[in-house]
Structure 1
């Protein structure tokens, strides 16, 4: 591929939940079909605690990066057939996904959907809904596999 040729890129949100693991698994499958790569993003933010001593941002970022690597290894193994870029961001998950998609010129964003049972299963989560409404590329929402 030449230096100015665009590689198909998928941005996938990972938070360690079963639905985000399903999203990562689906994104890797799809990337394998199209010869693409994945940018896996996990987001952290400092808690809003007044006058309490909390670890510094570097601790949150480091712990988040460690968790992201652990989840990727758990879901895809340490020898994934597709190229995976890991990204840790601070702030709101939907904003981080949209920013990463813009920066990488993503062809697709993949997120998990956390259902809560009953009627609310039909509703999208707030991150999924925000991404769907504001993304400049297609969005796939992957549901957590049903237990059998």
Structure 2
């Protein structure tokens, strides 16, 4: 991954399928367009979800989980980036906790963008555990984007 575009920078955005992460992705796309940066959209998966250690899952389950994560990320990027326009986008699907995967992807980046609330936790929190962890430990500046509270189709 060392062949990144350094002349214009790189923005990393976390995508988990939640409305908040969709809003973060749209914000990151606009920022990448304005700055000429490459956008790296990242999603994490783990088995079992929320685990504290890796359990060897059957190969077909691993393949299925990875493919589902990849499809979800590709769909989100397709919805956020106008065809024939927008920034150069690379996608990364990685095994691990969301915070660990995002912090790893943010090494060498100019900016990390995350949503304020993803899947999990309780809805009244201002920041989710992943965004809170990223703001405390990221190797670059972090933007936390709050969702609108409305499903995308209602806007």
Compute the TM-score of the two structures, normalised by the length of structure 2: 0.79
Aligned residue among 115, 124, 128 for 1:125:
128
| C-alpha distance 53-90 of structure 1, shift in aligned 2 (>3 A) | closer
How many equivalent residue pairs? 140
Pairing 1:24–2:29 present:
no
Higher helix share: 1
* Partner residue, 2:145: 142
Compare 13-22 and 58-67 and name the one that shifted more.
Answer: 58-67
| C-alpha distance 96-5 of structure 1, shift in aligned 2 (>3 A) | closer
Aligned residue among 29, 43, 56 for 2:61:
56
After superposition, the CA RMSD in angstroms is: 2.6
* Partner residue, 2:81: 76
The answer to whether the 8 A contact 2:43-2:92 is kept is yes
Q: Distance in 1 between matches of 2:5 and 2:69?
A: 32
Q: Report the structure number with the largest CA radius of gyration.
A: 1
Compute the TM-score of the two structures, normalised by the length of structure 1: 0.83
Structure 1, gaps ≥5 residues long: none
Structure 2, gaps ≥5 residues long: none
Q: Note the C-alpha offset of 1:60.
A: 1.3
